[in-house]
Structure 1
Amino acid sequence: MCGITGLLTFGSVGRPELLHVVGRMAQAIAHRGPDDHGEWADARHGVALGHLRLSIVDLSAAGHQPMVSASGRFVLVFNGEVYNHAELRRALESEGAAPAWRGHSDTETLLAGFECWGVEATLLRCVGMFALALWDTRERRLQLARDRFGEKPLYYGWVRGAFVFGSELKALRAHPGFAAPVCTHAVAEYLRLLYVPAPWSIHEGVYKLEPGCLLTVQDKPPETAPSQPIRAPGAHGTLSVHRWWKLAQVVEQAARERLRDDAEAIEVLEARLAEAVRLQSLADVPLGAFLSGGVDSSLIVALMQQQSARPVQTFTVAFEDPRYDESPHAAAVARHLGTEHHELRVTSAEARSIVPELPTMYDEPFADSSQIPTHLVCRAARSQVTVALSGDAGDELFGGYNRYLWAPRVWGHVSWLHPAARRAVGGGSLRVAASASEHAAVALRHVRHPAEKMRKLATAMEGAHSVDDLYRNLVACWPAPRALLQDPAGLPERRMELPELPHAGLDGSPARMMYWDALTYLPDDILCKVDRAAMAISLETRVPFLDHRVAELAWRLPPQMKLRAGQTKWALRQVLYRHVPRALVERPKSGFAIPLADWLRGPLREWAESLLEEAGLRDQGFLQGRPIRLAWQQHLAGSHDWSQRLWSVLMFQSWLRTNRVA
């Protein structure tokens, strides 16, 4: 795991200045790679690359980056891991295309692959997570690439005098020509979703490269930024973006290869997951795993321990508030599996002490409040290991979110109502929604705090004309964010944009929700959250569920193998029960939560009040004070729980103050 950055200038710049600027950009993200750093520049073409290294595989100087290929044609900076790089080396050797290896890093393997097979063909052979920048000295071409699901981040954009890129916005801001204002569209989408969705970033003229995409700049970049992000396939002058991997194609292919037999599916799933865990357990540094005691993390740890000759190191955080403390469940699973378990006990005050760090850690507004416990468990792991495996992505791939169960069921029993009647349900007639069908009670059987969930569902039904609309409303924080902006001119109020669906393979609304979540919520919220929380303290995280072969298998499972008898993740549970007794993991899904509503009414109230003061909001120039103050007063009075909405505003205001953005 590392940090990468670089630039391609529009005009003539000397090599010393290029090295100085790229070194400055790299230093801004030094936390991503404390073990080594390097810079490379070619003044003839105005290109410079920078790298920060967190040494995981091949700790020697042979893994130093930027790395030049054996022929001298390619120069590469690479962030991530290619788990099957030993297999790729053997393939190169069998084809007589392997160079005289200098070390055993996956970066060197990639360069040899690019020389032999080409860039896209090599990426398609890779099992891994990555963001990379490649300069082709022969073709005078810069290429940026991101992994299939977006585990590793990559920003790019325009500053005065150069096209720039980096693992985090900090690197781009460190360029002396950076002066990008806040993007109003990004603010609106952030308030809607709690994160800035790709390909947007919080700054105008700066964008995120979307997962599975390859960006190419031929020779010199365009000197001005496009007014809108470039979506694949698309181009802007000499810059083009296209997808080298498409989830839609995976879903369509899976529809032709459905697994129909339960027993066969469970066997194949366990074997595929075990192989992913084996590959991701390879490292030249200490390795462990997060363990919450839930289905996903317990299964990853069980498969790790099954393959390990010594106890796996596992990590969890214990909170003093029993409503949010999952540590007893994690400890029970750890005892059963025989892991070396580490439990970090954290007081509420210690957890709240993370809050001032969040605007810097997350680099742009980000308001998933589980960012706090996520960073805490990363800290716990980093005290003992350099790499930690997680159970992320199990929900999106195998049907783990409660909305997949109860939203379609409840909608099916109220969709026949006249829209005015549905608005009445959405406006507060919770008993109507809850009693619309006995199936609603079944769907909520495995839900923690079902009354809160039903309240959110009832609100989401207001204005919904289909179950897809209901999904949009369920994932929205502020449903009409444009109304919060001081200057919404030119920004129409519109529904949340959803990725285009594949032509086949999505059987029913739960499958559509999983597909949309995999393309939006997973990369832009879950993976972003974990990457920043971990890399802030130089911890590498790995996600076995995102081995693309596991994901492909997940889409081959029919819906009834994911959601069955009112229960989520049915197939994963069947694999887990082979290793862990059912009683240890069967409990309502809770997520990685904190008592945010109570904190805002109590110990964080003074801090929140300072950021939500109406004159201050007005002076900032972005958000209207009146609707926000109303939500704050209702929350303090206890008539509503607006903690999520308020947290989004607080994180935005805190980010503005920290980053001194005009």
Structure 2
Amino acid sequence: MCGIAGIVDLRGRRDIDGAVLAAMNQIQFHRGPDEGGTFIESGVGLAHRRLSIIDLSSGQQPLFNEDHSVVVVFNGEIYNFPELTEELLALGHEFRTRCDTEVIVHAWEAWGEDCVKRFRGMFAFALWDRNRDTLFLGRDHLGKKPLHYALLPSGELIFGSELKILLQHPGFVRDLDPRAVEDYFAYGYIPDPRTIFKGALKLPPAHTLCVRRGDPLPPPRAYWDVAFKAHAPMSEDEAGHELIERLREATRIRLVSEVPLGAFLSGGVDSSAVVAMMAGLSSSPVKTCSIAFDDPRFNEAQFAQEVAEKFHTDHRVETVDPDDFGLLDKLAWLYDEPYADSSALPTYRVCELARRKVTVALSGDGGDENLAGYRRYKWHSYEEKLRAKLPLGLRRSVFGFLGRVYPKADWAPRVFRAKTTFEAMARDTVEGYFHGVSVMSDRVRAPLYSAAFRRELQGYHALEVMRDHASRAPTDDPLSLIQYIDIKTYLPGDILTKVDRASMAHSLEVRAPLLDHPLVDWISGLPPHFKLRGGEGKYIFKKALEPILPHDILYRPKMGFAVPLVAWFRGPLRERLREAVLGPVMEQSGVFDMAYLRTLVDQHQSGQRDHSAALWSLLMFESFLRTLADAPALVRGEAA
């Protein structure tokens, strides 16, 4: 696991500023503390930080082909590199190392842009081909590894594993993108391909960017998509058996490592299943770790311990302070742009714990998106059944009216909190799902912005992100559609971003067998009722795991990482929240209606409303703005 950075002059062969390239590489030292390397020739500069995992003695980067005409910097792991190496050797290519990185340069020579279709793993890389005068960027199928890029007014293309790398270049302009701000306050993260800055983009998952010097920058090109293509009919037993076998194989290929390897173990279905697969494949005890909370509402330690004892793992658990809010400003530096998933705090801590024992950890990420494990899928399916009973036009008029006039009643018993349901019923499928997952609903978000900022938005609405993905979805089944949307938005934008930044902050590599792209594609072809049945998510997965995992692990209520935001903002963070959200940084940004922000804070702290999710997103936005403002001149895009 590593970090990459680079500068390529697309207009000519002007000298690359070695000091700037070095600064870009140094700012990501945490991603690869073992070694660093650079390559500079006329108009091209590539840089790399290395966390050594495979071929410790000879896997240094940048790495070249035989005649040094092709060079690559690479972040990730290609698990099928032994098979690809054999195939490429048969084609006449010569290898100097035993590492997966070298496969990339020879695969490019053999198969060109289609080489990424042959890779199985997680990756983000930049390849320069001197003979073709071509830069080729690639990102893995599901977006496990990040890649940001920007075309500067000078004609230089800069790129890097983290956004902070781009900010080290003095030519980068840090103007905020109003649409990204709207996306953030709707989703709690900024979905690909946008970043918080107008001038920078994320390369989307399963996309490449190939540009020849002298040509205009083309749009990224998709090379893969989740198919949601139905399989031939099979029984539940057949599907469950094949699912377990495919997971076992996806786990097996992720056990290759020359450094200590273990697993996260939360006690949930997905991480427990991965640990079970590892235990069956390993001759020595699996190293597992988990975190515990004093608050029983959030504590899963007893379930993790039960799984650890069943599979005789070398287990480590550490209790996290429930008031662990000392990381707030550190998160802003780690994520480089506003990010409002509060589970980033415990995720950071569990990565910190894991790194004390291992350099590589397997996780259960991906099971909820693949197998419909989120509770919101159940509620969305329920709402869809109700929507299907009435035409959209009638629902918009009747339920739209009820949603507007019915009072917001957070304090009332759930049966009387009908406003949200009315609002959802007035929407179509995509609108309804957007409404359900938004950090701030349209009703809360609409008054958030100042009049001047609303003019900058020019009518843009964050729903357009989901609409765009839905328009390209290969399925119209209501459940499969929202799974597809989540795989395109929430998975890479929130879940995988959280894990990448938290793990790499501790120089820890995380591998996710449930996000093996052939496995994801196969699961997508299972009937929707195999995934969600009778309100039970992951139905077929749990049935298949019944002989392997205890019943209370499989069928207990889902908990997940959570932090007590409601109590924090009325207690220990009360004053900090007021000072931040209502302070000069937010006011001077010009984004907000400050009177409305005061209303949100007052309503929450008085107990009148629960605005904890909205206030957390505002707090993290303020922390981002302050971190950016406090950065040195070079980071601000000013002349050094």
TM-score normalised by L of structure 1? 0.89
In structure 2, the residue corresponding to 1:323 is in which secondary structure? Answer: coil
Is the Cα contact below 8 Å between 2:8 and 2:158 reproduced in 1?
Answer: yes
Q: Tell me if 1:330 matches 2:326.
A: no
The counterpart of 2:266, out of the listed 267, 292, 296, is 292
| Aligned pairs (5 A) from 1:457-468 | 458=420, 461-462=423-424, 464-468=426-430
User: Amino acid of the residue matched to residue 436 of structure 2?
Assistant: L
281-290 or 68-77, which moves further after superposition? 68-77
Please list the CA deviations of residues 600-625 of structure 1 after superposition, one character each: whole Å capped at 9, or x if unmatched.
Answer: 11111121111112655322322221
Partner of 2:48: 51
- The alignment of Structure 1 onto Structure 2 pairs a total of residues equal to 619
The counterpart of 1:586, out of the listed 546, 555, 563, is 555
Q: Tell me if 1:422 matches 2:421.
A: no
The counterpart of 1:243, out of the listed 222, 228, 239, is 222
Structure 1: stretches of 5+ with no match in the other structure: 222-236, 433-449
Query: Partners of 1:357 and 1:430 in 2: how far apart?
Result: 39
Partner of 1:86: 82
C-alpha change, 1:174 and 1:259, in structure 2 (3 Å) is farther
Partner of 1:547: 516
User: Amino acid of the residue matched to residue 24 of structure 1?
Assistant: A
| Aligned pairs (5 A) from 1:401-480 | 401-413=374-386, 416=390, 418-419=395-396, 421-423=398-400, 426=403, 458=420, 461-462=423-424, 464-480=426-442
Is the Cα contact below 8 Å between 2:342 and 2:562 reproduced in 1?
Answer: yes
In structure 2, the residue corresponding to 1:63 is in which secondary structure? Answer: coil
Partner of 2:597: 628
C-alpha change, 1:85 and 1:655, in structure 2 (3 Å) is same
1:69 Cα shift?
0.8
Partner of 1:41: 40
Q: Tell me if 1:361 matches 2:334.
A: yes
The counterpart of 1:97, out of the listed 69, 92, 99, is 92
C-alpha change, 1:515 and 1:451, in structure 2 (3 Å) is farther
1:550 Cα shift?
0.5
User: Amino acid of the residue matched to residue 67 of structure 1?
Assistant: L
1:124 Cα shift?
1.1
Query: Partners of 1:464 and 1:166 in 2: how far apart?
Result: 43
Give the aligned CA root-mean-square deviation in angstroms: 2.6
User: Amino acid of the residue matched to residue 6 of structure 1?
Assistant: G
Is the Cα contact below 8 Å between 2:402 and 2:419 reproduced in 1?
Answer: no
Query: Partners of 1:352 and 1:50 in 2: how far apart?
Result: 34
Partner of 1:484: 448
Query: Partners of 2:415 and 2:322 in 1: how far apart?
Result: 25
Partner of 1:114: 108
1:504 Cα shift?
8.2
Is the Cα contact below 8 Å between 1:181 and 1:204 reproduced in 2?
Answer: yes
In structure 1, the residue corresponding to 2:6 is in which secondary structure? Answer: strand
1:191 Cα shift?
0.6
Is the Cα contact below 8 Å between 1:258 and 1:558 reproduced in 2?
Answer: no
C-alpha change, 1:611 and 1:269, in structure 2 (3 Å) is same
1:163 Cα shift?
1.6
| Aligned pairs (5 A) from 1:118-133 | 118-120=112-114, 122-133=115-126
Query: Partners of 1:502 and 1:260 in 2: how far apart?
Result: 30
1:319 Cα shift?
1.1
In structure 2, the residue corresponding to 1:366 is in which secondary structure? Answer: coil
1:117 Cα shift?
2.5
In structure 2, the residue corresponding to 1:603 is in which secondary structure? Answer: coil
| Aligned pairs (5 A) from 1:523-542 | 523-542=492-511
1:427 Cα shift?
6.0
66-75 or 385-394, which moves further after superposition? 66-75
The counterpart of 1:658, out of the listed 613, 627, 631, is 627
User: Amino acid of the residue matched to residue 41 of structure 2?
Assistant: D
1:372 Cα shift?
0.6
Query: Partners of 2:236 and 2:428 in 1: how far apart?
Result: 32
In structure 2, the residue corresponding to 1:301 is in which secondary structure? Answer: helix
Query: Partners of 1:156 and 1:29 in 2: how far apart?
Result: 15
C-alpha change, 1:258 and 1:362, in structure 2 (3 Å) is farther
Is the Cα contact below 8 Å between 1:285 and 1:385 reproduced in 2?
Answer: yes
Please list the CA deviations of residues 198-233 of structure 1 after superposition, one character each: whole Å capped at 9, or x if unmatched.
Answer: 111101111111111111221146xxxxxxxxxxxx
Query: Partners of 1:269 and 1:530 in 2: how far apart?
Result: 25
User: Amino acid of the residue matched to residue 494 of structure 1?
Assistant: H
Query: Partners of 1:467 and 1:246 in 2: how far apart?
Result: 21
In structure 2, the residue corresponding to 1:148 is in which secondary structure? Answer: coil
1:11 Cα shift?
6.2
User: Amino acid of the residue matched to residue 203 of structure 1?
Assistant: F
Query: Partners of 2:407 and 2:552 in 1: how far apart?
Result: 32
C-alpha change, 1:425 and 1:370, in structure 2 (3 Å) is farther
Please list the CA deviations of residues 86-107 of structure 1 after superposition, one character each: whole Å capped at 9, or x if unmatched.
Answer: 11112223x24230x3221100
Query: Partners of 1:272 and 1:290 in 2: how far apart?
Result: 20
In structure 1, the residue corresponding to 2:24 is in which secondary structure? Answer: helix
Q: Percent identity?
A: 39
Query: Partners of 2:616 and 2:178 in 1: how far apart?
Result: 19
Partner of 1:313: 287
Please list the CA deviations of residues 287-314 of structure 1 after superposition, one character each: whole Å capped at 9, or x if unmatched.
Answer: 1111111111111111011111111111
Is the Cα contact below 8 Å between 2:25 and 2:49 reproduced in 1?
Answer: yes
1:263 Cα shift?
1.2
Q: Tell me if 1:195 matches 2:194.
A: no
Query: Partners of 1:616 and 1:14 in 2: how far apart?
Result: 39
Q: Tell me if 1:608 matches 2:607.
A: no
612-621 or 293-302, which moves further after superposition? 612-621
Query: Partners of 2:133 and 2:446 in 1: how far apart?
Result: 43
The counterpart of 1:153, out of the listed 146, 152, 156, is 146
Structure 2: stretches of 5+ with no match in the other structure: 631-635
C-alpha change, 1:313 and 1:200, in structure 2 (3 Å) is same
Query: Partners of 1:267 and 1:543 in 2: how far apart?
Result: 20
Query: Partners of 1:460 and 1:169 in 2: how far apart?
Result: 40
Partner of 1:441: none
1:23 Cα shift?
1.2
| Aligned pairs (5 A) from 1:637-652 | 637-652=606-621
Query: Partners of 2:120 and 2:265 in 1: how far apart?
Result: 24
Query: Partners of 1:334 and 1:659 in 2: how far apart?
Result: 43
Please list the CA deviations of residues 464-522 of structure 1 after superposition, one character each: whole Å capped at 9, or x if unmatched.
Answer: 32233210101212233464222221420536122444788636311111011011110
C-alpha change, 1:14 and 1:501, in structure 2 (3 Å) is closer
Is the Cα contact below 8 Å between 1:68 and 1:76 reproduced in 2?
Answer: yes
The counterpart of 2:246, out of the listed 263, 266, 272, is 272
Query: Partners of 1:431 and 1:625 in 2: how far apart?
Result: 22
Please list the CA deviations of residues 98-146 of structure 1 after superposition, one character each: whole Å capped at 9, or x if unmatched.
Answer: 30x32211001222222223231x2111110000001010010111111
Is the Cα contact below 8 Å between 2:397 and 2:426 reproduced in 1?
Answer: no
Partner of 1:513: 482
